Every structure is written in C-alpha cells, then in structure tokens.
C-alpha cells in the first residue's frame, strides 16, 4: 500500500511541475469581465506616448481668452497628475522643474501689477522651457502644454493671468498627487 501512494505522489508532483504557472489560481476560473469603457480608457492611455500627451492641451491653450477658469483648473489637475510620481500614474517630474517657470511668471506678474506688461518677457519663457526639455526629456510633456499657452499669454494681460493660474494649478495638483523635489 505504501508503494502505491509514493508512486501517486511522484506522478502528481511531476504533473504539477509541468503545468504552466498561473500564480496559484486557474486563470480561466477567476477571470472577471472588464467593462468596455475601462478597456477603451486603458487602450487610450497606452496609445498616448510620453512626450506627446500634452499636444491635446496645447491645441486648446492656443487661445487662453476663450478658456474659462473651470477648464483651466481641469487641465491643471490632469497635467499635474500626469507629471506626478509614477505611483500616482505620472512620469515623476520634479516640482523644481515646474516651479522655475512659476517663479519667472511671478516676476513678470509683479511688473504687470506695476503697469508694465512686456510681452517679450513672456515670450522669452519659451527658450527656457525648450532648454529644460532638452536637458530632461520628461519636461517635453510640460513643454507641449505650456508652449502654446506662453504664445497666447503674450497677447494680453488677461491671457497672461490665465497662464499664471494654469502654472499655479499644475504645481498645486502636482504636489497633491505626491510630487516632490
């Protein structure tokens, strides 16, 4: 009797070793149906490559005068999340790289409040952004969003203030989603 049980154990052991690994569960039995909306959104996220997702917002931000404050907040929230650490689903851009533009925009804001709106100073944010994107490829996503907005911000004081609020919002949401230095 003992011999037949040993033989059974060896045979069962060999059979288990030859089975494909499924993490301990039979994947056919425990597969849940994924709703189509989730599949589609996952596919869309996979199709957007790093360095390209900001183009969608760039088109919209070409004319800041047509964008309402609530839409600026929505854009800032999404951009802040996408630039945040990977654990939040972002690309892990450091907050200092965003704050450089915010700090320069604040210096321009102080001049505007004193009655000196110089569109050239606003436009000169573009080469700073390009330089940062050249040094750190992760900044390219931010550049795709902000570059068209900078062009629009140089057109009027109102557009500049919307641009400033956009950057402030991006920094705030980046921090909210776990962004660090």
The answer to whether position 105 is within a domain reads yes
Question: Is residue 21's pLDDT more than 90?
Answer: no
Residue 33's pLDDT is 44
The answer to whether position 9 is within a domain reads no
Question: Is residue 28's pLDDT more than 60?
Answer: no
Question: Is residue 37's pLDDT more than 60?
Answer: no
Question: Is residue 49's pLDDT more than 80?
Answer: no
Q: Confidence band (pLDDT; 50, 70, 90) for 107?
A: very high
The answer to whether position 44 is within a domain reads no
Residue 119's pLDDT is 94
The answer to whether position 34 is within a domain reads no
As for how many domains the chain has, the answer is 1
The answer to whether position 148 is within a domain reads yes
The answer to whether position 106 is within a domain reads yes
Domain assignment of residue 144, given as a range: 52-176
When mean pLDDT is compared across 3-17, 62-76, 86-100, 167-181, the lowest value belongs to: 3-17
Q: How many CA atoms lie within 13 A of 151 on its CB side?
A: 11
The answer to whether position 169 is within a domain reads yes
The answer to whether position 116 is within a domain reads yes
Mean predicted lDDT score pLDDT of the chain: 78
Say whether pTM exceeds 0.85.
Answer: no
Those residues whose C-beta lies under 8 Å from the C-beta of residue 38, and which sit 6 or more positions away, are none
Q: Confidence band (pLDDT; 50, 70, 90) for 45?
A: very low
């Amino acid at each position: 009797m003992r011999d037949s049980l040993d033989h059974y154990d060896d045979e069962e052991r060999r059979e288990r070793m030859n089975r494909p690994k499924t993490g301990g569960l039979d994947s056919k039995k425990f597969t849940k149906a994924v709703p189509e909306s989730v599949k589609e959104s996952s596919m869309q996220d996979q199709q957007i490559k790093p360095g390209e997702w900001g183009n969608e917002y760039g088109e919209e931000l070409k004319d800041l005068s047509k964008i309402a404050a609530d839409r600026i907040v929505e854009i800032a929230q999404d951009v802040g999340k996408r630039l945040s650490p990977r654990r939040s689903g972002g690309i892990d851009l450091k907050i200092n790289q965003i704050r450089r533009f915010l700090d320069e925009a604040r210096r321009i804001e102080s001049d505007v409040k004193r009655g000196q709106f110089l569109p050239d100073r606003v436009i000169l944010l573009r080469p700073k952004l390009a330089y940062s994107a050249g040094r750190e490829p992760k900044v390219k996503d931010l550049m795709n969003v902000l570059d068209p907005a900078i062009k629009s911000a140089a057109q009027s004081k109102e557009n500049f203030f919307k641009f400033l609020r956009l950057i402030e919002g991006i920094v705030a949401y980046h921090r909210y989603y776990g962004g660090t230095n």
